C-alpha cells in the first residue's frame, strides 16, 4: 500500500482552485492535478504492508492533540525555482501545521518509516512539469489574475490516505481520520 497523511480541502476551496485551473490549463501543456486530488500532505509514508495497517493507524492516533489549524490557501509559485521548475504550486499558510507534520513524522518513524530530511514546506501541487517548456504564458496568466487568495478553512482532523497509481493519474482513498482534539 502506498500511503500518506494530510489535510482534506473543503468543497468551496476546491471550487476556487477548480476555477483557477480552468483559467490556467489552456496556457500551459503541463501535467495538471485533478481538483479532486488536491490535499495538503503532512507526511509521505510510501509503501506500507497491508498486514501492518492497524499498527500504523494506532501509531497515528498517538499524535498529540492540538487546537484546530487555520489554513489559508494563497499565492502560487514553482519548485525548486522559477528558472527550472518541476512543480507549479499553491501556497499554504497555516500556523501549527509544521508542528503537526513533525509529530506525524515522529509517530511514523517510531514504526520504521524513514524520517523527513527536508524542511516541511506545505503546498498544493497544482501541476507537475516534466519537460522544459516556455512557461511565460502561464506566468502572464497568473499576473492577470485579480486575486491569489483561494480561501481558507479550519482543519479539525488529518487523514491517512492510500494512493493508487493509475495510467490516468493517482486515485486517493481515505483510510482513517484523526481528530486534532481528543
**Taking Cα atoms as reference points, which of 130, 147, 129 lies closest to residue 138?**
129
Task: Provide the CA 89 distance to its chain's centre, in angstroms.
Answer: 10
Q: Which of 24-28, 158-162, 163-167 is least confident?
A: 163-167
177 neighbors 55 (Cβ within 8 angstroms): no
Mean residue pLDDT across the chain: 93
Query: What pLDDT is attached to residue 54?
Result: 97
Domains and CATH numbers, the chain: 2-179 (3.90.1140.10)
The arithmetic mean of pLDDT across residues 175-180, rounded, is 97
Question: Would you state the cell numbers that stand for residue 156, as one nine-digit string?
Answer: 479539525
CA distance 2 to 108: 14
**Taking Cα atoms as reference points, which of 154, 181, 118, 169 lies closest to residue 8?**
154
Residue percentage of the chain with pLDDT more than 90: 81
Global pTM reads 0.89
Residue 167: pLDDT above 80?
A: no
Quickly tell me which residue has 509514508 as its cell.
45
Q: Tell me 148's DSSP state.
A: -
- 122: confidence class by pLDDT, cuts 50, 70, 90: very high
Question: Would you state the cell numbers that stand for residue 107, as one nine-digit string?
Answer: 509517530
Question: Would you state the cell numbers that stand for residue 171, as one nine-digit string?
Answer: 486515485
The arithmetic mean of pLDDT across residues 118-140, rounded, is 90
Query: What pLDDT is attached to residue 135?
Result: 87
Angle, to 10 degrees, between the axis of helix 97-109 and the axis of helix 53-61? 140
Query: What pLDDT is attached to residue 165?
Result: 82
Query: What pLDDT is attached to residue 182?
Result: 60
Query: What pLDDT is attached to residue 111?
Result: 97
Residue percentage of the chain with pLDDT more than 70: 99
The number of CA neighbours under 13 Å toward the Cβ of 123 is 19
Q: Which of 21-25, 89-93, 130-134, 157-161 is least confident?
A: 130-134
Cα Rg of the chain, angstroms: 17
Amino acid at each position: 500500500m502506498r500511503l500518506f497523511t494530510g489535510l482534506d480541502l473543503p468543497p468551496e476551496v476546491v471550487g476556487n482552485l477548480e476555477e483557477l485551473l480552468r483559467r490556467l490549463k489552456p496556457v500551459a501543456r503541463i501535467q495538471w492535478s485533478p481538483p479532486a486530488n488536491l490535499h495538503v500532505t503532512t507526511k509521505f509514508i510510501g509503501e506500507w504492508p497491508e498486514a501492518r495497517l492497524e499498527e500504523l493507524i494506532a501509531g497515528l492516533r498517538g499524535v498529540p492533540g492540538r487546537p484546530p489549524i487555520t489554513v489559508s490557501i494563497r499565492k502560487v509559485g514553482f519548485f525548486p525555482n522559477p528558472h527550472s521548475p518541476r512543480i507549479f504550486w499553491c501556497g499554504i499558510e497555516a500556523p501549527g501545521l509544521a508542528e503537526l507534520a513533525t509529530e506525524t513524522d515522529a509517530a511514523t518513524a517510531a514504526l520504521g518509516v524513514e524520517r523527513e530530511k527536508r524542511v516541511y514546506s506545505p503546498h498544493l501541487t497544482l501541476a507537475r512539469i516534466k519537460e522544459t517548456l516556455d512557461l511565460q504564458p502561464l506566468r502572464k496568466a497568473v499576473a492577470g489574475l485579480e486575486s491569489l487568495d483561494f480561501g481558507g478553512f479550519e482543519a479539525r482532523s488529518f487523514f491517512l490516505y492510500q494512493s493508487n497509481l493509475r495510467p490516468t493519474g493517482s486515485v486517493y482513498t481515505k483510510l482513517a481520520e484523526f481528530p486534532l482534539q481528543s
